[in-house]
Amino acid sequence: MQVAEIEQMDKRFVLPTYGRQNISITAGKNARLKDSEGKEYIDFTSGIGVVSIGHGNERLASALCNQVQHITHISNLYLIEPQALCAQKIVQNSGYDMQCFFANSGAEANEGAIKIARKYGEVDGEMKRYKIITLEHSFHGRTITALKATGQEAMHNYFGPFPDGFVYADTIDEIASLLDDHTVAVMIELVQGEGGVQPLDRQKVQQLAAMLRQKNILLIVDEVQTGVYRTGEFLASQLYDIEPDIITLAKGLGGGLPIGVVMTSKKEVFKAGDHGSTFGGNYLSTTAANVVLEVLHAYKESGILDEMMLYFESKVTACQREFPELFLESVGFGMMRGLRMHSADALANLINGSREEGLLVLKAGKNTLRFLPPLTITKDEIDEGFVRLKRAIDTL
C-alpha cells in the first residue's frame, strides 16, 4: 500500500491524537529501519524507549513464534510459567525483596502503584492517608489518575474533574515542606523523560528517601523509561543507591510488546480481588520480556553495554561542543540522552531535518533533543546517526 493511501485511511478512520509524520516504516534490523519507499533511517528513538534489543531481533522473533504456536493467552486465573519466571528475573536483577504485578503499559503500572499507596494509607478500613506528592514537569501516563499525577498543568486541560489528593512540588527541595498527616507517598522519576531528560540530584534523592522512610511515607519511583538498563544499571534506583517501596516498569521490558509492571516491598497490601488485568503478564508479553531480560543481562555482564553507552555519550558531548550556538548542554544518563537547545523553533526544524537525512530523533520538554536508541546499537550505527545529524544541522 502506498503512503498516500495509508495516510488517507488513517485520517478517515483513526482519531487524530498523534502528530504523525507521513512515512510508513516497514522493516528494521537493530538500529536501522526502512520505510515503504526503501529509504533507510538510523533509529535514535527505539519507539520512544521501547525496542530495547533492536528491531528484527531473531532471538525474540523465534521465542514469540514458538510461543504463539502453543498458547498465546489464558487468563490470570491460572498459573503462567513465563510470568513467574519474568517476575523472578525482575526481582533478582533489582536486588530488592519485592513482588510484581503485571499490566500492559506504564500508565497502568503507575495506576497500580497509586492503588497500593492508597490502600497502604488506610487504617482499619478508613482512609487516613491518601495524598501523593509528585514533581512539576513530571509525566506518569495518560489515564485519568496517572494524568492527574503528572505535574504538567497544561496536560490537565479538558479532562477534569480528577481524583483528589495529588500535590505538586516545584523542586525536590520543596517536597519536605508539603508533607502533612495525610501524605502517604512521594512519586518521582529519577530522570524526567518527557520533562526534558532532566536527572534529579543524587544526594538530594538519597536525603529524600531517608526522610520518607523515617516518616513511614512511601517512595514510588516511576522507572517506566529509566528502567531495564536504559540508564546503565537494571534500575536507575540502583544508580542512585536507594531502595524505593514501589517501582514501576514498562517500555523497554517487552522489546516492543505491551507490558507494564508494578513491583513493591509492601507485599501484604494487595489481596485477591484488589487489582487485576485481563491481558497483563500473559504468555506472549512475558515470553518477550524474558528474552529481553536475558539478552540485556548478558550484554551488561559482557561490558559491551557500558562501552556503547560511554561511546554514545562521547558523541553527544562532542556534538554539543561543536555547535554551541545550537546546544546549551548535554544531559542524561546511559542511553537516555538529550541536547538542550537555545530555541524551540530550531529544535522542531532539526527533528524534521534529521528525518529528511535519515535519522529519527525525539523532542522532550520545550527545547530538548532527545535520544533513546536501542540498547544494542553498534558503533557503526552510532557513527552513521551522528553523521546524519550533522548533515541536518548544516541545513538549518
pLDDT per residue as tens digits for the range 173-195: 999 999 999 999 999 999 999 88
25 in Cβ contact with 51 (< 8 Å): no
Cα Rg, the chain, nearest whole Å = 21
Which tens digit of pLDDT belongs to each residue from 387-396? Answer: 999 999 999 8
Determine the Cα–Cα distance for residues 386 and 161; give it in Å rounded to an integer. 45
Beta-bridge mates of residue 167: 133
Grade residue 128 by pLDDT with cuts at 50, 70 and 90.
Answer: confident
- DSSP sequence for 27-77: EEEBTEEEETT--EEEESSHHHHT-TT-BT-HHHHHHHHHHHHH-S---TT
CATH label, 60-301, candidates 3.30.360.10, 3.40.640.10, 3.40.50.800, 1.10.10.10 = 3.40.640.10
Q: Once rounded to an integer, what is the mean pLDDT over residues 361-371? A: 95
Q: Once rounded to an integer, what is the mean pLDDT over residues 159-168? A: 94
Mean pLDDT of the chain: 96
Question: Is a pLDDT exceeding 80 seen at residue 125?
Answer: no
Q: pTM (2 decimals)?
A: 0.96
Residue-wise burial string across 367-379, b where 16 or more C-beta atoms lie within 10 A, e elsewhere: bbbbbbbbbbbbe
**Helix 379-394 / helix 344-356 crossing angle, nearest 10 deg:** 120
Cite the residue boundaries of each domain of the chain with CATH code 3.40.640.10.
60-301
Say what the pLDDT of residue 126 is.
67
According to DSSP, residue 153 is labeled G
Q: Once rounded to an integer, what is the mean pLDDT over residues 355-372? A: 96
Which tens digit of pLDDT belongs to each residue from 279-304? Answer: 999 999 999 999 999 999 999 999 99
